[in-house]
């Protein structure tokens, strides 16, 4: 596996919750920065991590955010990330970008893990 990028997520103090009959929803807004050998940049505005928590303990995680920065050739670009999973140890990211030099990330088989930090989490995205 090759580490593609690490997103350093800083969680907002705001947490939005709905406790429903069939599941509970928790939405966590965040900001952050991204660094790696192919791309460096920052979260545009706020991203959001949405957690669905079911009565049987099952959890579905989905984070969506847009990054703006530079690709490895120094060109300005944007990167959209959608990261879905059922545990912090294994999520599946989708990457969409307007950088011609990063298009391979849109087609690559990717995996990520989420590591808690003092101010949020680090999301490490790997190419298989």
86-127, pLDDT tens digit by residue?
Answer: 988 899 999 999 999 999 999 999 999 999 999 999 999 999
Checking if the pLDDT of 23 tops 90, the result is yes
pTM as predicted: 0.93
Band (pLDDT 50/70/90 cuts) for residue 40 is very high
List the domain boundaries for the chain: 2-127
Q: Look at residues 56, 46, 49 and name the one whose alpha carbon lies nearest to residue 17.
A: 49
Q: What gap in Å lies between CA 40 and CA 28, rounded to an integer?
A: 23
- Third-level CATH fold of 2-127: Porin (2.40.160)
Band (pLDDT 50/70/90 cuts) for residue 63 is very high
């Amino acid at each position: 596996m090759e580490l593609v990028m690490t997103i350093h997520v800083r969680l907002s103090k705001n947490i939005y919750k709905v406790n429903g009959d069939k599941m509970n929803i928790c939405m966590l807004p965040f900001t952050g920065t991204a660094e790696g050998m192919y791309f460096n940049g920052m979260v545009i505005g706020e991203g959001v991590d949405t957690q669905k928590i079911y009565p049987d303990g099952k959890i579905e995680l989905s984070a969506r955010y847009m990054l703006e920065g530079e690709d490895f050739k120094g060109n300005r670009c944007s990167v959209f990330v959608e990261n879905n999973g059922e545990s912090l140890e294994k999520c599946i990211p989708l990457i969409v970008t307007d950088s011609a030099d990063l298009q391979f990330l849109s087609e690559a088989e990717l995996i990520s893990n989420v590591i808690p930090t003092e101010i949020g989490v680090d999301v490490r995205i790997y190419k298989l």
